[in-house]
C-alpha cells in the first residue's frame, strides 16, 4: 500500500480548506471580481469608476441596467454586461451595500483652472442656455441621494466621458433625465464640470 | 422711392444684435437647440418630470401638470422678486421674460399624467377628513373650500391633486421660511395661519390624501 506523503496530504488539505473558505464567504469572491477592474480599494482604476461611497440604490440600478442592456456606452457593453451576467439579486444588493460603506477618496485629477467655473455651473446651471442646476438633484456636495449617484470625487475622465456619451445619444437607465441634461452641454461646460467634480470631497 | 429713416435703421440694428447674441449661445451649447418656448419647456421638464408629474431629486420637485396658470405665474414672479425664497428657482426664473412666463404657465395646465404616488397610505382617511371638513378646533379651514373638492384649485389658488408628497409636507411645515419673504404684499400670507396651525402628523395626512387625487 502506498503511503500518502505528509507533504501531499497537507497540500491537499490546504487546497480543500481554501476552496471551502471561498465558497462559504461567497461575497469575498464576488468583491474580487469587481475590484479586479475598479481598484483594490474600489476607488476606481483607469476607465473603471470609483465604487467606494457610491449610493447603493444607484449601484443596484446600474447593475440592473447592465443586465437589461439599457445602459449601452461602449465600455458597459464590452465589460459590464458580461461582468454582471451571472450576478444574482442578493449578491448584487450585498455588493452595493459593501461598496457604499467604503469611504470615498476624491480623484483630484481635473483641471484646477476650470474648477471654479465648474462649481458655478454645478450649483446654478446656465438658465440662459437651458442647462439645469446639477445641485437640484445631486445635492450641494454632489453626494447624491437614493438612486441619484454621488458625483463628488469621481475621476475627471469618467465624468467627461459620460457627459459626452449622453450628448452622443448613448442611453442610461430608463427614465433618467441625464441624456436630456447632457445634450445641452458644450465642450467647455463638460470640461469645467468634470474638473470641478473630480476635486469634490 | 422709400426713404429709410433712422428709426428703422436702429430697429434693424437691435434685431441684428439680438440674433447675433442668440447665435453665440447656440455655439456654446451642444447640438444646436433653438431658443424659445420648446427648449425652455424641455428645461423645466428635466427637473419637474417629463410629463410635469414632479420628480424626487435632492429636493422634491413639485408637479406642474394641470396646475392653475395664474398660480404658476404668481410663483415665478415671487421667485424673481425673492418673495419666495428658493435658490434653484430664483436662478431659473430670473432669466424669464414676462411673455415667456405666461407661455410656460399656460402650457402646463393641459398636461394630465397620473399622480407621482409613493406617499404612505396609512393616514389617507384622516387626510380626507381634514381636507373636507377642516379642523375647527385648531382654526384650520377646510382645504376644499378654496382648493376645490377635487383639489384642482382655481385662479391663483393652486391645484393640489396629485402633488408630490414630500413637496407638500415640506411646503406646509416650512411655509413661513420660504414664502412671504421681504416686506411687500404677498398672497401667500393667506396660507400662513393654516400652515402654522396644522401639526406635523396632520400635514402628513393631508399631503398623503391629496397626493393620490387625480
ipTM: 0.79
Is there a domain that residue A56 lies in? yes
**B57 touching chain A per CB within 8 A:** yes
**pLDDT, tens digit (0-9, with 9 covering 90-100), for A88-108:** 999 999 999 999 999 999 999
Higher pLDDT, B7 or B54: B54
Residue A4 placed within a domain: no
Residues of B whose CB is below 8 A from A182: 30
What proportion of chain A, given as a percentage, has pLDDT over 70?
Answer: 90
Whether B93 and B156 share a structural domain: yes
Q: d(Cα B10, Cα B196) in Å, to the nearest integer?
A: 55
Q: Which helix (H) or strand (E) holds B55?
A: strand B55-56
- Chain position carrying cell 475621476: A155
Q: Tell me the helices (H) and strands (E) count for chain B, helix number first.
A: 11, 2
Only one residue has cell 450576478, namely: A87
* Domain shared by A163 and A89, yes or no: no
Mean pLDDT of B131-149: 96
> How far is A150 from A37, CA to CA, in rounded Å?
20
Domain count, chain B: 2
For chain B, the average pLDDT equals 88
Query: In angstroms, how far is the first alpha carbon of chain A from the final one?
Result: 67
Q: Is residue A10 a part of any domain in this protein?
A: no
Identify the domain containing residue A191 by its residue range.
112-199
Residues of B in contact with A181 (CB under 8 A): 46
Average pLDDT over residues B75-84: 95
Which residue among A127, A133, A139 sits closest to B95, beta carbon to beta carbon? Answer: A127
Q: For position B13, what pLDDT does the model report? A: 52
CATH of residue A138's domain is 1.10.760.10
Query: Chain B closest CA to A177's CA: distance in Å?
Result: 6
* Cα separations in angstroms, B109 against A29, A57, B37, B159, B203: 54, 34, 15, 10, 26
The distance of A49 to chain B (nearest Cα, Å) reads: 22
Angle at which helices A89-100 and A26-38 cross, to 10°: 60
Q: Is B91 in Cβ contact with A182 (below 8 Å)? A: no
**Contacts with A138 from chain B: Cβ below 8 Å:** 57-58
pLDDT in tens, A179-190: 999 999 999 999
SS3 of B94, please?
A: coil
**Residue B13 lies in domain:** 1-35
Instruction: Please check whether residues A119 and A195 belong to one and the same domain.
Output: yes
Whether B40 and chain A come into contact, CB under 8 Å, resolves to yes
Is the Cβ pair B47, A180 closer than 8 Å? no
**In the predicted structure, residue B16 carries a pLDDT above the cut 80:** no
CA separation, residue B77 to residues A187, B41, B82, B106 (Å): 33, 17, 8, 15
Amino acid at each position: 500500500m502506498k503511503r500518502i506523503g505528509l507533504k501531499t496530504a497537507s497540500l491537499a488539505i490546504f487546497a480543500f480548506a481554501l476552496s471551502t473558505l471561498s465558497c462559504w464567504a461567497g461575497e469575498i469572491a464576488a468583491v474580487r471580481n469587481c475590484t479586479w477592474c475598479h481598484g483594490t480599494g474600489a476607488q476606481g482604476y483607469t476607465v473603471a469608476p470609483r465604487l467606494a461611497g457610491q449610493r447603493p440604490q444607484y449601484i443596484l440600478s446600474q447593475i440592473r441596467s447592465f443586465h437589461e442592456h439599457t445602459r449601452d456606452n461602449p465600455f458597459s457593453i464590452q465589460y459590464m454586461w458580461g461582468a454582471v451576467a451571472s450576478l444574482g439579486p442578493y449578491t448584487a444588493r450585498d455588493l452595493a451595500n459593501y461598496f457604499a460603506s467604503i469611504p470615498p477618496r476624491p480623484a483630484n485629477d481635473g483641471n484646477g483652472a476650470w474648477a471654479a467655473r465648474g462649481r458655478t455651473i454645478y450649483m446654478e446651471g446656465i438658465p440662459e442656455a437651458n442647462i439645469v442646476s446639477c445641485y437640484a438633484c445631486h445635492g450641494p456636495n454632489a453626494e447624491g441621494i437614493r438612486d441619484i449617484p454621488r458625483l463628488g470625487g469621481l475621476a475627471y475622465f469618467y465624468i467627461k466621458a459620460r457627459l459626452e456619451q449622453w450628448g452622443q445619444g448613448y442611453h442610461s437607465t430608463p427614465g433618467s433625465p441625464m441624456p436630456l441634461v447632457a445634450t445641452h452641454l458644450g465642450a467647455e461646460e463638460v470640461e469645467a464640470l468634470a474638473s470641478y467634480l473630480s476635486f469634490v470631497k | 422711392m422709400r426713404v429709410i429713416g433712422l428709426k428703422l435703421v436702429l430697429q434693424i440694428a437691435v434685431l441684428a444684435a439680438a440674433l447675433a447674441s442668440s447665435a453665440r449661445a447656440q455655439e456654446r451649447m451642444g447640438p444646436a437647440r433653438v431658443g424659445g418656448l420648446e427648449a425652455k419647456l424641455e428645461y423645466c421638464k428635466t427637473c419637474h418630470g417629463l410629463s410635469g408629474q414632479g420628480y424626487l431629486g435632492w429636493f422634491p420637485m413639485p408637479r406642474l401638470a394641470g396646475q392653475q396658470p395664474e398660480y404658476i405665474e404668481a410663483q415665478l414672479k415671487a421667485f424673481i422678486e425673492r418673495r419666495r425664497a428658493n435658490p434653484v428657482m430664483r436662478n431659473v426664473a430670473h432669466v424669464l421674460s414676462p411673455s415667456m412666463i405666461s407661455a410656460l404657465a399656460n402650457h402646463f395646465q393641459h398636461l394630465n399624467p397620473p399622480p407621482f404616488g409613493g406617499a404612505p397610505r396609512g393616514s389617507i382617511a384622516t387626510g380626507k377628513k381634514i381636507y373636507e371638513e377642516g379642523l375647527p378646533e385648531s382654526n384650520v379651514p377646510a382645504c376644499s373650500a378654496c382648493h376645490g373638492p377635487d383639489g384642482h384649485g382655481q385662479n391663483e389658488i393652486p391645484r393640489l391633486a396629485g402633488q408630490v408628497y414630500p413637496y407638500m409636507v415640506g411646503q406646509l411645515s416650512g411655509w413661513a421660511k420660504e414664502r412671504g419673504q421681504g416686506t411687500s404684499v404677498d398672497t401667500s400670507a393667506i396660507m400662513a395661519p393654516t400652515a402654522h396651525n396644522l401639526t406635523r402628523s396632520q400635514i402628513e395626512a393631508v399631503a398623503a390624501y391629496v397626493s393620490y387625487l387625480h
